[in-house]
Amino acid sequence: SSVVGVDLGYQNSVIAAAGRGGVDVILNGNSNRLNPSMVGFDESRKMGELATSGASSNYKYTVTAMKRLIGLAFDDPVATLEMQRLPLQFCRVPHADGVDSIGVQTSKDPDANDSATTVVPMEAVAGMMVRHMGTIVAQKIAQETNTSVEANMPQDWVLTIPSYYTDAQRRALLAGCAMVGLTGVQRLLHETTATALAYGIFKDLKKEFQADQPTHVLFLDMGASAYTVSLVAFEPGKLIVKSTTGDANLGGRDFDWMIVTWMANKFAEKFGAKLSGNPLDRPKTVLKLLAAAEKAKKTLSPQGVKEARINLEMLMDDLDFSITLTAAEYEQMCEPLLARLEAPIVQALAEGKLTAADLHSVEIVGGSTRIGCVKRALTGFLTNSGAGAAATELLSTTLNADEAVARGAALQSA
Ligand code: ATP
Ligand code: MG
């Protein structure tokens, strides 16, 4: 049985396995490395990529954001805020003991109302996603060895958690794994530590760290939901996390929502009184807008791209909608978000009593560090924090932005 590292992301989950040849990210059945963190309760249960196709029609019973919702009480204001930022509102209900849960429809009878449901605790949904990730590895080995999937489920798991997790959330994740009958040992590791490990091990093997003075590296991770900064000192055979800061509510989804709001306003401006209501109150319209926003955002990431064309057929009330988002407009829109990138960096350096000039490199990971204006903003701050002209070279992508956390976790478990 294998030893695995699982990065349970807000949007994407990744699994890496440690083997004789090192650490590998394992592809799912569709040959993809990223698995949407999503569990759909339909006639059968669908997880990861398999859940995406039915998500729009079965949105009431398709759960996302487990990463953020576990370990919270049903009426926790944080949970309420999280629900507001979901693409689709699933049927959330309180559990007997007050923990956050999903009400799962047990009958396919169209006349059955939502009371015809069983209640699944949110942590169990997170557990199902973790289990699904393990299945990806087990399926691969089962195929290669002609054995059963169950016999090849990992027995040694390192699950990464964000640095903002409370004790209750850590416990909830482990409890969720137990609820779905996950076997073996599950250990938790901070995402930032996993990234630092993924970076450090190979540099260490190549004898790039010195014994007489620590090599300081700043790691910046911006994913879909959160932004984390951590300052790490490397010495031969040693990794010391000096400080971890960040903004738990700054990530790619905030850029998406910015564009969605802009589009919805333009749409309402154009069709005005013709519309039968607010586009943002329509689940399927919101879903279409979010998908288009994420696409436009990605189009505008590379340096030099001037605009993104957005075409939405039958967005609402059978109306088609086309609009162009220019890079200039987009960046202006993003400014309030970009302005929040600096403070955690300043704080991390201050806690470590360093300036940017003392850094060996600044490693960026997470999908949202691909955003062009994010990279430029980061380079700007580093220049002002004492790195001078070297700032442009400081920002480095040694690690695979999508895989570093899972790889580091698998290395830790090895
Ligand atoms: P978190 O770390 O917050 O739990 P996650 O690990 O699921 O989230 P990632 O997989 O690192 O997040 O990144 C996903 C985010 O990166 C999404 O918001 C996605 O839109 C964004 N993203 C991916 N590629 C690009 C790109 N080329 N340009 C802009 N954004 C991108
Ligand atoms: Mg992440």
Do 210-250+340-398 and 252-336 have matching folds? no
Q: What is the mean pLDDT of residues 127-138?
A: 97
| pLDDT given for residue 283 in this prediction | 86
Q: Which CATH architecture has domain 210-250+340-398?
A: 2-Layer Sandwich (3.30)
Atom in ligand 1 nearest the alpha carbon of residue 13: 7
Taking domain 3-183, whether its CATH number is 3.40.190.10 is answered by: no
Which of 163, 298, 330, 376 should be mutated for ligand 1, with most atoms under 8 A from CB? 298
From atom 3 of ligand 1, which residue's Cα is the shortest distance away? 225
Backbone angles phi, psi at 206, to 5 degrees: -85, 10
Backbone angles phi, psi at 398, to 5 degrees: -60, -35
Calpha distance 346→332 (Å, rounded): 23
Which pLDDT band holds residue 88 (cuts at 50, 70, 90)?
confident
**Is residue 219 left, alpha or beta, with left meaning phi > 0 and alpha meaning psi from -120 to 50?**
beta
Assess whether pLDDT exceeds 70 at residue 226. Answer: yes
How many whole angstroms from 369 Cα to the centroid of ligand 1? 8
How many whole angstroms from 9 Cα to the centroid of ligand 2? 5
Higher pLDDT, 67 or 284: 67
The per-residue b/e assignment along 187-197, b for 16 or more CB within 10 angstroms, e otherwise, is eebbbbbbbbb
- H/E stretch holding 137: helix 122-145
Torsion angle of C-alpha atoms 342, 345, 349, 354, degrees rounded to 10? -70
| CB-based contact 122:99 (threshold 8 Å) | yes
| CB-based contact 388:355 (threshold 8 Å) | no
| pLDDT given for residue 97 in this prediction | 67
All structural domains of the chain with their residue ranges: 3-183, 210-250+340-398, 252-336
| pLDDT given for residue 383 in this prediction | 85
pLDDT in tens, 281-310: 998 899 999 999 999 999 999 999 999 999
pLDDT in tens, 374-402: 999 999 988 887 776 666 678 999 999 99
pLDDT in tens, 324-380: 999 999 999 999 999 999 999 999 999 999 999 999 999 999 999 999 999 999 999
Closest by CA to 63, choosing from 42, 32, 34, 33, is 42
| pLDDT given for residue 305 in this prediction | 97
Atom in ligand 1 nearest the alpha carbon of residue 37: 7
pLDDT in tens, 142-163: 999 999 999 999 999 999 999 9
Q: Is 62 in the pocket of ligand 1 (CB under 6 A)?
A: no
How many whole angstroms from 38 Cα to the centroid of ligand 1? 15
Which pLDDT band holds residue 107 (cuts at 50, 70, 90)?
very low
Q: Is 301 in the pocket of ligand 1 (CB under 6 A)?
A: yes
Task: Give the number of the ligand closest to the Cα of residue 248.
Answer: 1
Q: Is 33 in the pocket of ligand 1 (CB under 6 A)?
A: no
Assess whether pLDDT exceeds 90 at residue 74. Answer: no
From atom 12 of ligand 1, which residue's Cα is the shortest distance away? 223
Angle 273-275-278 (CA atoms, 0-180°, nearest 5)?
110
Q: Is 68 in the pocket of ligand 1 (CB under 6 A)?
A: no
Taking domain 252-336, whether its CATH number is 3.40.50.280 is answered by: no
Terminal CA-CA length for the chain: 12
